[in-house]
Structure 1
Amino acid sequence: MAQQPHVVVLAFPFSTHAAPLLTIINRIASASPTTLFSFFSTQQSNNSIFSISQPNIKAYNVPDGVPEGYVFLGKPQEEIELFMRGAPQSFRKGVEMAVEESGRKLSCLVTDSFFWFAKEMALENGVPWLPFHTAGDASLSSHVYTDLLRETYGVGGIVGREDETLNFIPGLSNVRIRDLPEGIVFGKLESFFSVMLHKMGQVLPQATAVFINSFEELDPDITTDLKSTFKQYLNVGPLILTTPRPSVPDSHGCLAWLDKQKPATVTYISIGSVATPPPNELVALAEALETSQVPFIWSLRDELKVHLPSEFIDKANGLIVPWAPQIDVLAHGAVEVFITHGGWNSIVESIAGGVPMIFRPFFGDHRVNGRMVEDVWEIGVIVESGVLTKDGKMSGLDLVLAQEKGKKMRENLRDIKQVAQRSVGAKGTSTENFNNLLDLVCTQNYA
């Protein structure tokens, strides 16, 4: 009797990486109940995402890499560096344990795309390697083309050229050098994080297949190019349209409050779980909201709320909450615009809700995402000069809420959402790609 497949899944336990990976693993596990999935992340990450999962998924904890008694130095990405330095060994030990416990040999390795070392793990075990890229394909393309970009622009030699566009990379002709993620041609190229992403871009073409939470029709030129770069490139999203959302408690009454508002009048603000606007920008945003008198829901961590003017909080024409059920908020008919940092999950959720965006980008893929949103898909705008000011926020709100351009954004969103829904339909491209992914993951197929 043939052994049943045993898939090991390695999640990146920071930001919003692990949750979408678990989402698609749940869907695959549901479609292949005889396949065992061993899902590895840190205890903190697993505790935050494993509310409901398929019975054939088993969670395993790996160390977070922080030595006992360690005092954090406050360096950028310090937690990530500590975790990643020990990750290859931690994951190898974990895989050995899962194989021994289950009595099933490893048949496939599914990982976050950040784990460049997974290529060697897959080769050592003679199994397929299937990395999942949690961001959009514009940022993915920029990392794949890092070496070419460095050859073209040099390292750190972009002064005066920041607004040149990347016309030589398919699908990125509207993207400017300044929009690229840090660590490609500017920023600290030798930092641990930059080196990690550079290695990722170099090894992904050697993976069995790369899959992503998007749909082919959103960026057809990038998709065609990456299909020629990777052995297989599978757009399997938007996951929000294919996977039933687990109900989340609306502990701060956001949806009940939205039910009392007029249709298409509310501004929703969430700057992400990692990005932190400086106090002066929080004040500027509060002043713009106060002046405009638009009703709003602002998801703002309690420790940042202290920077807001007390008179604004006392007279606020909306809700200021430490957490909001974002997917449900964006799907509510009362919400008219979304002020966001521009992470990929937020973009996909905004498209699903049909809500135009105002971007305040911070780092990573935020700027390139903003450029695609503003100049390619035309479903949002980037704030003036990339920072929050009262006047800039007022003009952005006016553009989206009152001007003809805002109306055009909503029309574009309706069109894009319809295309997305077709892509996940019975004969859609994302459905076809998911079926291909399912075969790759769950077939007993040693490389």
Structure 2
Amino acid sequence: MSTAGRGSPHVAVLAFPFSTHAAPLLAVIRRLATATPDTLYSFFSTADSIASIFSASNDLPNVRAYDVGDGVPEGYVRVGKPQEDIELFLRAAPANFRKGMEEAVAKTGRRVSCLVTDAFFWFCADMAAEMELPWVAFWTAGPASLSAHLYTEHLRQTLGVCRGIDGREDETLQFIPGMSKVRIRDLPEGVVFGNLDSLFSRMLCDMGRALPRAAAVFLNSFEELDPTITADLKSKLNNFLNVGPFNLIATPPRASDESRCMSWLDGQGRASVAYISFGSVTVPPREEIVELADALEASQVPFIWSLKDHSRENLPEGFLKRIETRGMMVAWAPQEEVLRHDAVGAFITHCGWNSLLESIGGGGVAMICRPFFGDQRLNGRMMEEVWGLGVGVEGGVFTKKAVMNCLQLLLSQERGEIVRDNMRALRRQAEKAVGPDGSSTRNFKLLLELLSIP
């Protein structure tokens, strides 16, 4: 029997509470809720996740947060294995989400009409079918990585993974649409190399099988960035909807700047500053922090480095004193505003998807990519070889020489201006996509229609 009753729609939103998954999902839900005030959005995540992403004063009455269990049994003693908390959460998630939805229905008197979930939740294909509801999945990364997961079984069969890929890491994926410049080594772990039986590998493979059953899959990107991959995914999914970049749709409130990054940048020359940040999760190993610091000091390039306080103990002795007149070390920086400043000419980054989009939406900042895990290598390869937005670090790890070469290339040579021109051209396409008649605007309207069916 259907749980979707007549009357106003009630969308249940199931968030993945780890890494930076829940926050971008909430951002798009808030945008949807603003456009559809009669639709109720019940947002489910763990208590810690809810506390970290919901402000004290939620100004949208049709968005309500509900805590779900984290899956850790009472009295459980962690054994310290990788992804232990994620495994515990996922094991209990289907039952916990069902319980949460029953609570929301009881409190509001409105039956659930649609499931919007993180794409990781492959089990929602069956859950939605049992509840006779449409399932709409949100992919938090880019089109290329989504394609890799949809093609996982095809990749394994074509590459003969059972025979191993040693010595073939530089082979390109000519047989996958839009991936002709992508090498085997650029794929996320668990697709064709690494532990193919790990929790994440099995989860993403199951997701790739399940997503064609979704009523729609949407993501924070724009069609013009990856036209070939977009066309291919449209042929494989019921509704593949690029609805971003989010950072060009709504200007966020001005972030606090306690470290005075912006006033410091006002005193620097155009495209002369390097900005360094690896997101909220990634921390380079100690030896690479030392190499990066040595390169910044030797190059004499002015810089802002966003580095958590606990990681500063890995800096070379006396470094902070020696660079105090031309460098800023901060625990946090208003990244989007920094990247929009004319003084910033290079962004040293892990190439996470959100950082990449923020760079495109900035003032034309060339990227220097040192990827670490997940989709970062794939993003970096697309950034350098397909879109021409920057360079990768030679050898894939920070060395003093490799970083100095990248800085010189992008800040002191013609290559840097070419890259910044490419970045500005792509930004214009992104701005057009989110404009009144743009592709992302049309896709967002279609998403609204899908969620507005009671």
TM-score, length of structure 1 as denominator length: 0.97
Whole-angstrom CA distance in 1 between matches of 2:82 and 2:294: 30
Q: Which shows bigger deviation, 80-89 or 101-110?
A: 80-89
1:275-354 equivalent positions in 2, closer than 5 A: 275-316=282-323, 317-353=326-362, 354=364
- Residues paired across the two proteins, number: 444
2:381 is aligned with 1:371: yes
Query: Corresponding residue for 1:429?
Result: 439
Deviation at 1:2, TM superposition (A): 4.4
Paired residue secondary structure (1:80): helix
Whole-angstrom CA distance in 2 between matches of 1:398 and 1:56: 51
Query: Structure 1 regions of 5+ residues with no counterpart?
Result: none
Whole-angstrom CA distance in 1 between matches of 2:148 and 2:52: 31
Query: Corresponding residue for 1:30?
Result: 34
1:376 is matched by which residue type in structure 2? V
CA contact (8 A) 1:23 1:243 kept: no
2:63 is aligned with 1:63: no
CA contact (8 A) 1:359 1:383 kept: yes
Query: Corresponding residue for 2:281?
Result: 274
Deviation at 1:79, TM superposition (A): 2.4
1:49-88 equivalent positions in 2, closer than 5 A: 49-51=53-55, 52-88=58-94
Deviation at 1:74, TM superposition (A): 3.7
1:27 is matched by which residue type in structure 2? R
1:133-152 equivalent positions in 2, closer than 5 A: 133-152=139-158
1:283 is matched by which residue type in structure 2? V
2:131 is matched by which residue type in structure 1? N
Q: Which shows bigger deviation, 386-395 or 82-91?
A: 82-91
Deviation at 1:257, TM superposition (A): 2.1
Query: Corresponding residue for 1:126?
Result: 132
Whole-angstrom CA distance in 2 between matches of 1:16 and 1:380: 24
CA contact (8 A) 1:26 1:53 kept: no
Whole-angstrom CA distance in 2 between matches of 1:78 and 1:350: 33
Deviation at 1:89, TM superposition (A): 1.4
Instruction: Indicate which of 345, 360, 372 corresponds to 1:362.
Output: 372
**Per-residue deviation, residues 312-332 of structure 1 (Å, max 9, x unmatched):** 111223111111111111112
Instruction: Indicate which of 197, 204, 225 corresponds to 2:204.
Output: 197
1:182 is matched by which residue type in structure 2? E
Query: Corresponding residue for 1:102?
Result: 108
Paired residue secondary structure (2:305): strand
Deviation at 1:265, TM superposition (A): 1.5
Paired residue secondary structure (1:346): helix
Instruction: Indicate which of 116, 119, 123 corresponds to 1:113.
Output: 119
Deviation at 1:439, TM superposition (A): 0.5
**Per-residue deviation, residues 14-41 of structure 1 (Å, max 9, x unmatched):** 2211111111111110000011000111
Q: 1:230 to 1:417 in 2, by over 3 A?
A: same
Structure 1 vs Structure 2 CA RMSD: 1.4
Whole-angstrom CA distance in 2 between matches of 1:315 and 1:28: 49
Deviation at 1:261, TM superposition (A): 2.2
Query: Corresponding residue for 1:244?
Result: 251
Deviation at 1:104, TM superposition (A): 0.3
**Per-residue deviation, residues 199-244 of structure 1 (Å, max 9, x unmatched):** 1111001100100111111110000000000011001011111123
1:59 is matched by which residue type in structure 2? A
Whole-angstrom CA distance in 2 between matches of 1:257 and 1:70: 49
**Per-residue deviation, residues 334-355 of structure 1 (Å, max 9, x unmatched):** 2111111111000000000021
CA contact (8 A) 1:154 1:185 kept: no
Query: Corresponding residue for 1:160?
Result: 167
Q: Which shows bigger deviation, 75-84 or 206-215?
A: 75-84
Query: Corresponding residue for 1:417?
Result: 427
Whole-angstrom CA distance in 2 between matches of 1:279 and 1:213: 33
Deviation at 1:123, TM superposition (A): 1.1
Q: 1:55 to 1:333 in 2, by over 3 A?
A: farther
2:190 is matched by which residue type in structure 1? G
Whole-angstrom CA distance in 2 between matches of 1:283 and 1:320: 14
Query: Corresponding residue for 1:48?
Result: 52
Whole-angstrom CA distance in 1 between matches of 2:356 and 2:314: 27
Whole-angstrom CA distance in 1 between matches of 2:387 and 2:105: 46
- Between the aligned residues of both structures, percent identity stands at 60
Query: Structure 2 regions of 5+ residues with no counterpart?
Result: none
Whole-angstrom CA distance in 2 between matches of 1:158 and 1:212: 31
